[in-house]
Amino acid sequence: MNKFDEIYETIKSESFEELEIERKKANNLRTIPIITSICVSILISLLLHSLIIFPIFIGLFVGFLLSMLKTEYRNKFKNAVIKRFIEEYDSNLCYKPNSGISSSIYDRGFRESYDSYSSDDLIEGMIDNTYPISFAEVHTEIETEDSDGNRSSATVFHGAFACIGSRHNFRTPIMIHSDKGFFGKLFNKKNKIEMDSEVFEKYFDVHAENGIATMQILTSDVMNLMIDFKEKYKTKFEITLNGSNIYIRFYTGSIFEPSLSKKGLDKDFLKKYYDIINFTFDFSKLINKSVNEADI
């Protein structure tokens, strides 16, 4: 039995009956307001001859009720399942669903312009009792304006973000981003490092000022770990080594968000996060190992 199965079985054996009742209740209740609102809307529209304001009002009210139901279940789920899951993964880790990582830390890893920043689902702790780690969901948005002056928000990044400490100080950043294709490469040739792995080059672009240090850090083991994760999970992810930290972000969208229609201990749901956290740990350990071995 591998580590994930052990964690899953441990959590499964614990009593989550109350949570499951809560989920079923929320799931059943959400159909009642929807049906009621549809019925009331049709009735009002027929009686008042297409007065559209009432159905809209009722729709908004139902939406509000639904989000209340979901938030309540979501909080209970995170505090029960995710908290236990993280504790079982590594007892050095602590999960705080309502806390996040500050934007200043995020900016040190990934410099890009955005107008709004939010973060929650924070996991904090130490890797091997040596390197501090912060892992959280991050959502950045930029405001756009069309030719008519209508403003709208567009997501810049939404997913999991991790910041891990390193004993080494990366004086100039090493950026490992997803391959930007032919044109992306054509216009972004500055400090591009050609890696000696064809498969790695297919998936990633590496930019750094110090090519030698980059090659010393990105050993074949590191590159293989990244390739394996990319090929297995197809998740887009990017890495920056800057200052005394390793920054990783995964384009996963919301993390740890339960679905009302799925049971609380959905194995695939937990496996996805297990693999992401596991990769973050393995990658950080490997980078720190290669930095120490190369004595950079």
List interacting residues with other proteins (CB under 8 A). Answer: 193-196, 211-216, 293-296
Distance linking the first and last C-alpha atoms of the chain? 38
Smaller CB separation from other proteins, 189 or 234: 189
What residues contact 163, with CB distance under 8 A and at least 6 apart? 101, 105, 106, 108, 109, 133, 134, 135, 245, 246, 247
Smaller CB separation from other proteins, 160 or 213: 213
Smaller CB separation from other proteins, 201 or 257: 201
The amino acid sitting at 135 is F
Task: In angstroms, give the least distance from the CB of 295 to other proteins.
Answer: 5
Smaller CB separation from other proteins, 41 or 288: 288
Residue for token pair 């972004």 = 188
Task: In angstroms, give the least distance from the CB of 211 to other proteins.
Answer: 5
Task: In angstroms, give the least distance from the CB of 201 to other proteins.
Answer: 9
Smaller CB separation from other proteins, 157 or 203: 203
Task: In angstroms, give the least distance from the CB of 207 to other proteins.
Answer: 14
What residues contact 76, with CB distance under 8 A and at least 6 apart? 19, 22
Task: In angstroms, give the least distance from the CB of 291 to other proteins.
Answer: 11
Smaller CB separation from other proteins, 227 or 294: 294
Task: In angstroms, give the least distance from the CB of 283 to other proteins.
Answer: 19
Q: Rounded CA gap, 116 and 153, in Å?
A: 9
Task: In angstroms, give the least distance from the CB of 236 to other proteins.
Answer: 24
**Residues 163 and 247: beta-carbon distance below 8 Å:** yes
Cross-strand pairs, 158: 139
Cross-strand pairs, 157: 140
Nearest Cα residue to 217 out of 133, 157, 225, 97: 225
Smaller CB separation from other proteins, 227 or 265: 227
Tokens of 167: 């004993």
Q: What is residue 100's three-state secondary structure?
A: coil
CB 194: neighbour CB atoms within 10 A? 8
